Structure 1
Amino acid sequence: MKILLFGKTGQLALEIMRHKGDHVIEAYGRDVADFTDGASCVALVDATNADVIINATAYTAVDKAEDDEATALQVNGTTPGLIAEAAARRGLPFVHVSTDYVFDGSGEKPFSPDHPTGPLGAYGRTKLAGEEAIKAAGGIYAILRTSWVVSSHGKNFVKTMLRLGIELDRLTIVADQVGGPTPAAALAEACIAAADGLLADSGKAGVYHVSGAPDVSWADFAREIFNLAGLSPEVVDIPSSDYPTPAKRPLNSRMDNTSFETAFGLRRPSWQRGLQEILTDLDVLKPA
């Protein structure tokens, strides 16, 4: 299978290339596939000889999106929709990554893929717009909603905690937001499995959830990062109200992964195992 991959240097794109196996990857970064210019991305779809398309590009600056929703909408909504239309014209399956931010974060039960959406801010609105545009394109697609993506690449919660755990003796961390941290490596495997699955059976098209297990608060996730890295700062639980941000975060980011497991045969990934692999990559895993 040959994959046209939108994204080249982000944490998900890097892991897709790392876990490609026997698949051939045709990857394009921002220098060629500029998501603020949808036409450049459509041209790549029109010209490719790939069998399937995976989009690992997104505007993920959640707080910045509050003041720059137009750009976020172009990157997260309009351009993915144009790619989906181009893919549909050629009969190419399209795998796209979305987010738990399309929900309002209410309650404590895991959100199923068919649960009513209700984004709290600009980032969630723009990602939901992308989902709707992809569905409207009428092609073969898998939208994979995920949460709390982490890896040894770029900027993410794990790397921030490692830095702060060395610099500070005491950290206050939000404890009332609960969700599934998702190793980018596991999400990459899910994207490839979805691509394979859609090629074999277009009837598997739809919206799915892929997130790490078990669900945990940010504060407890930080504690496990410090434990595995051999760091010992004090972690103090605080409510979200004590850490105001421009964009409101969902309190409940739990997601039901059952339908993805059934359709594509991958069990919900363990973030604890993924965290050990990340810390090993970074050469900071505490000896057993």
Structure 2
Amino acid sequence: MTELNKKNVLVTGSNGQLGSELRRFSSEFTTHFRFFFTDVADLDITDRQAVDAYIKEHSIAYIVNCAAYTAVDKAEDDVELCYKINRDAIASLAVAATNNGARIIHISTDYVFDGTANAPYTEDIETNPQSVYGKSKCEGEIELLKACPESIVIRTAWLYSIYGNNFVKTMMKYGRERDELNVVADQTGTPTNAADLAQAILRILEHSYTKAFESGIYHYSDEGVTTWYDFTLEIHRLAGIDCKVNPIATDQYPTKAKRPMYSVLSKEKVKTVFGISIPQWQESLAVCISEMENG
């Protein structure tokens, strides 16, 4: 394939967990795509004119937006900045994409739901966010689909990776430093290795190039269900850490932002539409910890 037939892909927030994984696996998808990785120092997505100019200058066909304000508890006080990044910047991206004929794949979160369900959340269940972070991400989805309805929104949950700071690294660190830990055991969800989500996004891009851009809202996490407590036990088992872990209730570990008690996502739609195979969370955790331990 000639360079002329390649489509240009802009990945925003590329220094984060997911952006870093996209960068890592992008070399396997260069037949059809040329990637441009930016973070806030290269492109401030809250600057509408800068975004519009960048998309125009680089003839961007697809935007994968991984940029987000994700400090869930801090967001309760840092409301203005949280909304600026998670809602207003998305509106700017949407307008710029529409003006320049680009398509958007936007990453969202399980926090758009209230966490009161007892069966996996499908994409058509009504949102009801309970935190500033969740509300800002929910409104970002609304702004995007209003300005650029032919977009893809991917909601994910409990993200971790070999990059950045995350729950897996924290539990490994504390497990090695302390004799015992208290971990919440009544919040249920599914851990997601950002490497798996990155590869799913790249396959969705490939599908968009060779078949069609299937706009809409999709859910992606790894397969299976667990609690933060059981997740910690598996982290320690795989990492060979000997530390006593005590299960506690959410009200014994108060946080500024309210967490969803149940945030298992149904993945049937993304699997059916894009033919994506999703690994069990335990398998992916083992891969991640092995990469961390072996460099």
Q: TM-score range by the shorter chain?
A: over 0.9
Which of residues 105, 110, 118 is equivalent to 2:120? 110
Shift of 1:81: 1.6
| C-alpha displacement of 1:235 | 1.1
RMSD of the TM alignment (CA)? 1.6
SS in 1 for 2:11: strand
Which residue of the other structure, out of 74, 85, 91, is the alignment partner of 1:75? Answer: 85
State the match for 2:29 in structure 1: 22
Aligned position for 2:3: none
Asked whether the 8 Å contact 1:93–1:199 carries over to 2, the reply is no
Provide the rounded CA distance (Å) in 2 between the counterparts of 1:283 and 1:43: 42
Residues 201 and 81 of structure 1, relative CA distance in 2, 3 Å threshold:
farther
Within the candidate set 122, 126, 140, 2:150 is matched to 140
- The structure 1 residue matched to 2:110, chosen from 91, 100, 103, is 100
- Whether 1:8 and 2:18 are equivalent positions in the alignment is no
Give TM-score, length-normalised by structure 2.
0.92
CA contact (8 A) 2:88 2:140 kept: yes
Q: CA deviation at 1:39?
A: 3.1
Specify the code of the residue in structure 1 equivalent to 2:9: I
**Structure 1 segment 98-177 matched on structure 2, within 5 A:** 98-177=108-187
CA contact (8 A) 2:218 2:269 kept: yes
TM superposition shift of 1:41: 2.4
Task: Tell me the amino acid that sits aligned with residue 252 of structure 1.
Answer: Y
Q: Distance in 2 between matches of 1:269 and 1:58?
A: 25
- Cα distance in 1 for partners of 2:153, 2:192 equals 16
Q: 1:12 corresponds to which letter in structure 2?
A: L
In structure 2, the CA distance between the partners of 1:159 and 1:72, relative to structure 1 (3 Å rule), is same
Secondary structure (helix, strand or coil) at the match of 2:181 reads strand
Q: Identify the range of structure 1 (27-36 vs 198-207) with the bigger mean alpha-carbon deviation.
A: 198-207
Q: Supply the AA of the counterpart residue of 2:89.
A: T
In the other structure, the counterpart of 2:72 is: 62
Matched, 1:270 2:267: no
Report the 3-state secondary structure (helix = DSSP H, G, I; strand = E; otherwise coil) of the residue aligned with 1:283. helix
Contact 1:53 1:92 in 2 (8 A): yes
**Residue aligning to 2:261:** 251
Percent of paired sites with the same residue:
36
Structure 1's 128 and 201: CA in aligned 2 closer, same or farther, altered over 3 A?
Answer: farther
Question: Are residues 27 and 284 of structure 1, via their aligned partners in 2, closer, same or farther at CA, if it must alter by over 3 Å?
Answer: closer
Q: What are the ranges of 5 or more consecutive residues in structure 1 without an aligned counterpart?
A: none
Q: Distance in 1 between matches of 2:111 and 2:124?
A: 14
Q: Hey, what does 1:191 align to over in structure 2?
A: 201
CA positional deviation for 1:238: 0.6
Q: Distance in 1 between matches of 2:160 and 2:248?
A: 22
* Deviation for aligned residue 1:77: 0.8
Give me the whole-angstrom Cα distance separating, in 1, the residues matched to 2:149 and 2:180. 51
Please report the TM-score for the alignment, with normalisation by the length of structure 1: 0.94
The separation in 2 between residues aligned to 1:78 and 1:283, in whole angstroms, is 39
Q: For residues 29 and 54 of structure 1, do their structure 2 counterparts lie closer, same or farther at Cα, with a shift above 3 Å needed?
A: same
Tell me the number of residue pairs that the alignment of Structure 1 and Structure 2 aligns. 285
